[in-house]
Structure 1
Amino acid sequence: MLFKRPQHLRFEYIPRYYKPEKDEELKRKERLRRSLKIQRIGISERKKRSLLWWLIIVGIVFYLYLVLSGTL
C-alpha cells in the first residue's frame, strides 16, 4: 500500500465510582431475564407444535372419513 492506514482509537476508561455489588446484581437480573425469556419461548414453541399436531391429526381423520364414505 502506498498510504498509511488509520488505526482504531483505543481508550482505557476506568470508572470513578464502581460498586461491585451493583454490578453483580445487574448481571444476576440479566441472567434471570434471559432465562425467563427462554422459558417463554419454549412454552410458545410447544403450543405451536401442539396446534400443528392437532391440525395434522384432524386432517388425517377427515381424509379417512372421506375415503371410507366413498366420496373420494
Structure 2
Amino acid sequence: MLMIGEQPQLASPMRLLEMLADRFGAFEAVANSTIKLARYAPADELAMDMQLAEAVLEFGTDLRAALVLAQTWAEAKGSV
C-alpha cells in the first residue's frame, strides 16, 4: 500500500496492521449490535448470525493483540 504524499513511500507493516485494526471496528460494531439484538429479534432479522458475530469479535481481539506484539517487537528492535 502506498501512502499519498509528496514522494510515494510504502507504509510500514506495523502501520498497515494498525489501519486494519481500526477499519475492522465497523465489523465489530455490527457484531456487537447483532449479539445485543439477538435477545429481542428473530434470527432472520439480524445483520449476521451469532456464530459469525462471535467469530468477528474473537478475530478483533486477536488483531489487536497482534498489533500490540508488533509494536513491542518494533520498539525492541529500535524501529520506533
TM-score by length of 2: 0.40
Indicate the structure (1 or 2) with the bigger Cα radius of gyration. 1
TM-score by length of 1: 0.44
With CA pairs under 8 Å and 6+ residues apart, which has the higher RCO, 1 or 2?
2
